[in-house]
Structure 1
Amino acid sequence: MPPAKKTDKTSAPLHVGIDLGTSRSAAAASNEKTTWVESYVGWPKDFVSRKMLGKEVLYGADAVRHRMSLDLVRPLEGGVIREGSERDHEAVRELIRHLLEAVQTEDDQPVRAAIGVPAEALHASKAAVRDVVGDLAEALMIVSEPFAVAYGIDALDGAMIVDIGAGTADLCVMHGTMPTEEDQRTLTLAGDAIDRQLARRLSERYPSVRFGETTLRQVKEASAFVGEPEGKVSARGADASTLGDYDVTDDLRASCESIVPALVEAAADLLSRYEPDFQETVRKNVYLAGGGGQIRGLAEMLEAELAKTGPARVRTVDDPLYSGAQGALALAQDMPAEYWEDL
């Protein structure tokens, strides 16, 4: 691992918002630079791997592509650092280092980082994130991911954020103040749950065919949908030693739709805690964010389900990939000093 960078405390700090995700992590900086990476880190297994790859650490798609040559780590589970493994903590540190280096333009510029984590993991994540960030930044702020999204799109009153990532789906109602735990919900039915259900369904439909986990995740990310399909969706699989393309359309649709009932139930439960007139306002201002926000037809399906008990409007944010990081950046630039933790 390369040494941590020293910073020049006399320089103006670079504010960075980071959306630390189970599947993808993104960063947005006050110098207008942005970057994202799949949340994988890999180390060469041996001297042959190091010679072939010519790198000490690989990240994201590069790491996945060379996974047979690496000790590959996906260190975030449910949007938080997995406990009990120093390698997972090291991998998250490397991810954050990689993101920061991609957006920094001055080697010695101090960094003030706002990092988004799942709503219900906010308190539990603080110590772990503080440990891995260490001297990569001079100050740190941990925020809930749906609150960061809300702040970034200026949906601060009478709105609900539904932020669907790989590990969790986070819901947050905004009512003109910083949200409390009572204003937020975290579900573990999200992108990874869709992946697991798709794999299970295909093992039942095609019992003699083997589908790679990475292949199915890529198919989902490229073609996820609910409702009516636009066309046939196929996945490459192997029956014994014979490769072929298999129709996965119906199974992909069913897997994506499997998360809808829990999302609707959680949204209804959150809404029930507020006065009826405020509920009506919020129902017409629901925003879908995160990777799940890119599932074709999901906003329309959620809107139809919520509309069964009253008028509703669900919209997808303009940039689901960066909405969390951009919101965390906005918070980093606006937050008073008492919300920061010096490192």
Structure 2
Amino acid sequence: MIARKSPMEPSTPTLPHIQLPAEQGRRAGASAAPALPGDDFQDSDQQKPRILHLGLDWGTARTVMIASWAGETTPVHNETLPTLVGYAKDGIVENLLPGNPEVLFAQDAVRHRLHLKMAQPVVNGMMGDAKAARLFAEHLRERLPHGDHVQIRAVVGIPCGCDAQAREDFREALDSLVDGCILIPKPFLAAIGARQNPPPADVNYVDPIRNSLLVDLGAGATDVCVIQGCYPSAVEQIHICGGGDALDEHLQAGLQAAYPDIQISPLKLRELKEQSAWAGTPEARPIAELFVRGRLQRVDMTQIMGDSCHRFLEKIAQAMIQLIGSADVETAPELISNILLTGGGSKIRNICRELERLLHSRGIEQAKVRLLGEAVEGYVAVGALKASQQARENQWQLSLK
């Protein structure tokens, strides 16, 4: 089990003044924490543990993990994989699945999905199927350098506004993956991951940590967060239960309304979205070939895609307006000129200009929206690794396995 400790404020010069929220003590029945890395062992033959720092973005659709050894900067592991668990269907023919496994993960689960019962470890950004989450965490550990003398210390990105139970759910799922963890909201980690330190001489460079409104558009959830140099407070974070998957649902409903006999799988729907999603006025009419009544038919996606994206962005704009309205009047002008987008949903074509238009139409005329950077799906994990490398010993919530 991962014991909850009261994390203290670090004093590292490169990590932007993270003050982690206080926890409510250890779990019931927890004993003293195990020996910490660097403690002297009485048995000279006993090998000291080697610390592997891990930055983890455990998302609804994809998981990104980047790891490096303590004291080293070069990653020894950098991987993105689907967040998916599949159980072999009852009565399946022998050797239809290579090696006759009972459970498959990630790409293997996608590849053999026809013969599997799928389970989602993460739903709407939060822990979903508890058993699937635990098995997936074990799978992640197997993919990392591991062994009896390796301790994995992970900083993990979590959605904005997680309550005590949601945090506990994350810790329980992580118990089979890590020996110690710190949970930090994803937008804050994304800002750390994208930040250049020291900042470049370019006058147009926007330091995402200084004073920005950061929006992380994930598959299962969207998180909006005010970042002003330190760990965001609860009132500076908004979690929207719905991200790219919500857009998929809007598309599905629109297609079913227009073509009641249409046949389309969730994976095909996601593929269409990633290929054709746009915000505002499209440059060209997107046409898709889909099965309707068992026959391929050319379907004009213009109206359906446009309506779906507009509904999706309206929710995000409302959350942005709420946080802007509660910002200090002295800092608000700079804040609204530094609205930064990241996550897979930020790849929607024209999304920055359309969000600007929505904000301008509501009286926030100085709003400026831009992408956090090009690596939109990697910044959370990069920031998490940076935070892991710089965390103080008394910040870690250590495992009592």
TM-score, structure 1 length as denominator?
0.89
The question of 1:52 aligning with 2:96 is answered yes
Match of 1:130 in 2: 171
Separation in 1 of the partners of 2:298 and 2:106? Answer: 26
Separation in 2 of the partners of 1:332 and 1:122? Answer: 22
Match of 1:337 in 2: 393
The 8 Å contact of residues 122 and 143 in structure 1, kept in 2 or not, is answered as no
Q: 2:253 aligns with which of 200, 209, 221?
A: 200
Match of 1:303 in 2: 356
Change (3 A) 1:236 1:9: farther
Match of 1:181 in 2: 234
Tell me how far 1:66 sits from its aligned partner: 2.0
The 8 Å contact of residues 111 and 139 in structure 1, kept in 2 or not, is answered as yes
Q: Which one-letter code corresponds to 1:275 in the other structure?
A: D
Q: Which one-letter code corresponds to 2:53 in the other structure?
A: H
* Greater Cα offset, 151-160 or 16-25: 151-160
* Greater Cα offset, 18-27 or 107-116: 107-116
Tell me how far 1:117 sits from its aligned partner: 1.4
The 8 Å contact of residues 35 and 99 in structure 1, kept in 2 or not, is answered as no
Q: 2:214 aligns with which of 152, 158, 161?
A: 161
Change (3 A) 1:62 1:111: same
The 8 Å contact of residues 26 and 99 in structure 1, kept in 2 or not, is answered as no
Separation in 2 of the partners of 1:47 and 1:201? Answer: 37
Separation in 2 of the partners of 1:266 and 1:113? Answer: 30
The 8 Å contact of residues 26 and 34 in structure 1, kept in 2 or not, is answered as yes
Change (3 A) 1:60 1:219: farther
* Greater Cα offset, 105-114 or 322-331: 105-114
Q: Which one-letter code corresponds to 1:24 in the other structure?
A: R
Match of 1:85 in 2: none
Tell me how far 1:122 sits from its aligned partner: 5.0
Mapping of residues 19-34 of structure 1, within 5 Å: 19-30=57-68, 31-32=74-75, 33-34=77-78
Change (3 A) 1:148 1:50: farther
Match of 2:306 in 1: 253
Match of 1:4 in 2: none
SS at match of 1:268: helix
Q: Which one-letter code corresponds to 1:159 in the other structure?
A: S
Tell me how far 1:264 sits from its aligned partner: 1.5
The 8 Å contact of residues 42 and 59 in structure 1, kept in 2 or not, is answered as yes
Tell me how far 1:58 sits from its aligned partner: 2.1
Match of 1:294 in 2: 347
RMSD across aligned positions (CA): 2.2
The question of 1:281 aligning with 2:334 is answered yes
Separation in 1 of the partners of 2:93 and 2:384? Answer: 37
Mapping of residues 23-172 of structure 1, within 5 Å: 23-30=61-68, 31-32=74-75, 33-46=77-90, 48=92, 51-55=95-99, 56=101, 57-82=103-128, 88-102=129-143, 104-105=144-145, 107-108=147-148, 109-121=150-162, 123-154=164-195, 155-172=208-225
Structure in which a larger fraction of residues adopt helix: 1
Q: Which one-letter code corresponds to 1:39 in the other structure?
A: T
Match of 2:15 in 1: none
Tell me how far 1:172 sits from its aligned partner: 0.8
The 8 Å contact of residues 122 and 142 in structure 1, kept in 2 or not, is answered as no
SS at match of 2:384: helix
Change (3 A) 1:36 1:333: same
Tell me how far 1:327 sits from its aligned partner: 1.4
Tell me how far 1:9 sits from its aligned partner: 6.8
Q: Which one-letter code corresponds to 2:62 in the other structure?
A: R
Q: 1:262 aligns with which of 301, 315, 321?
A: 315
The 8 Å contact of residues 134 and 176 in structure 2, kept in 1 or not, is answered as no
The 8 Å contact of residues 263 and 290 in structure 2, kept in 1 or not, is answered as yes
Structure 2 residue runs without a partner (length 5+)? 1-36, 38-45, 69-73, 196-207
Structure 1 residue runs without a partner (length 5+)? 1-6, 83-87
Runs of 4+ in 1 over 6 A off after TM superposition: none
The 8 Å contact of residues 211 and 236 in structure 1, kept in 2 or not, is answered as no
Match of 2:3 in 1: none
Give the percent of matched residue pairs that are identical in Structure 1 and Structure 2. 29
